[in-house]
Amino acid sequence: MIERLHTGTRMSKIVKHNGVAYLCGQVGAGETVAEQTRDCLARVDALLEEAGTDKTNILQAIVWVADMADFAEMNGVWDAWVPEGHAPARACGEAKLARDVLKVEVIVSAALPQS
């Protein structure tokens, strides 16, 4: 069974299938990469909670930064957010994001705990 939450014409914020929660890409508010990353990861936390899981169960993360010069700044926030021993498989690349003010976008998939 596929369960879709917050479904619109273009996308769902959460899709749950076969014990995995897939989140749509999250961006954050703020002026700096660090501020946007913190806000973005807080949004990821909220969606994971709504899906019935948390960041200790993240399987994979894809991170897009608008400028790889901001890689270290983003990683500083990321590294503090990921619980020790629970680092997911991750890819990071540079991409032109949906709006010029956006500096980072994070996409995650997480395991759903067995009930």
Contacts of 80 (CB under 8 A, 6+ apart): none
pLDDT digits (tens, 9 = 90+) for 43-62: 999 999 999 999 999 999 99
pLDDT reported for residue 114 = 82
Degrees (nearest 5) of the Cα angle 57, 72, 39? 55
pLDDT reported for residue 101 = 96
Residues of the chain short of pLDDT 70, as ranges, are: 115
Residue type (1 letter), 24: C
Express as a percent the part of the chain with pLDDT over 90: 98
Domains of the chain, by residue range, sit at 2-111
User: What kind and span of H or E run contains 73?
Assistant: helix 71-81
CA distance 79 to 51: 23
CATH code for the domain defined by 2-111: 3.30.1330.40
